[in-house]
A and B are shown apart, each in its own frame.
Chain A
Amino acid sequence: MIARVLLAAIIAGMIAGAVAGAVQIWRLSPLIQAAEVYEQQPDAKEGHATQSHDHGAVESAAQQGQHDHSHSSEVWAPEDGLERTAYTLLSTLIMGIAFALVLSAAVMFSGRNITVQNGVLWGLAGFVIFTLAPTAGLAPELPGMPAADLISRQTWWWGTVAATAGGIALIVLQGRLSLKVLGAGLIALPHLIGAPHPSTHESLVPANLAAEFAANSVAAMALFWIVLGVALGWTMTRTRNGVGA
């Protein structure tokens, strides 16, 4: 039983991950690479500059013609082009399988069935929990945009995911009004606390680039979750019908 559920999740995750990977390479990667130009500016905001990642470091070192072969101290990063695209696709597939496993765990804990018909609703719940609620506090980030401390943002992100998931479960899975109200409060709580923000949002990244990325990344995740919900409904139904028996 466990193996069958895991297999159903892996197949559904690969389907949705492949869709997300295609959309990402088409709509999002060009925006990320366009923003990296601004990340490389030497006067990039202090604090963030020290954490800037290695595409910039490698390129600016190369551009400045440094000869001391600092490669030994540089961390590996995929080469721009085919290699980077391949790693993006691979990591998106893993992300798809990861979210599919989490969604199938939620299905198991809920005791409700997931089908092709109600898969859209399961997917939308995942979208609200993992994308909509966190991005309401922490807007999608492009390279070069200032942000608060990474650990505190990751902590808020996970706290928001947990509170939203708990809140939705309380609203959907049981009938008592008082607990539904508690669920709504749980969903609101991280936003009342507030997400960690940097002292300034001033950035060299053009506003239209950031806006375009925010809209497209949220839309891509909506598509991913809907495809994942329907695909998981399909693979779980096939599993239930004894395909793996």
Chain B
Amino acid sequence: MLTQDSSLSITSLSAQERAITGIIAALLGMFMLYGVAFAHSDILHNAAHDTRHAITAPCH
């Protein structure tokens, strides 16, 4: 994993490495997306209000 050249590519990673990295990235991303665009908290809604409309997420 410390190769200095372009030989380290996603296709060269083991399935396990890709799965773990993918799951962590997906969970983090979904958590953030939920907070910005879907959480029913009024404060989160009001802070991100214009963004929720702009990214065409269901709002209100």
Contact = CB atoms under 8 A, between A and B. Distances in A.
Interface of A: 1-2, 5-6, 9, 20, 24, 28-29, 32, 48, 51-55, 75-78, 84, 87-88, 90-92, 94-95, 97-102, 104-109, 111-114, 130-131, 134-135, 138, 140-143, 147, 150, 153-154, 157, 213, 217-218, 220-221, 236-237, 240-242, 245
Main SS of the interface on chain A? helix
A94 B49 contact: no
Given A53-B49, A54-B42, A112-B10, A6 B24 contact: yes
A240 B6 CA distance: 6
Contacts of A5: 21, 25
Contacts of A1: 1, 13, 17, 21
Contacts, number: 185
Nearest to A35: B53
Main SS of the interface on chain B? helix
Interface residues of B, number: 50
Given A135-B56, A140-B53, A157-B58, A76 B26 contact: no
A143 B60 contact: yes
Given A95-B55, A142-B53, A100 B29 contact: yes
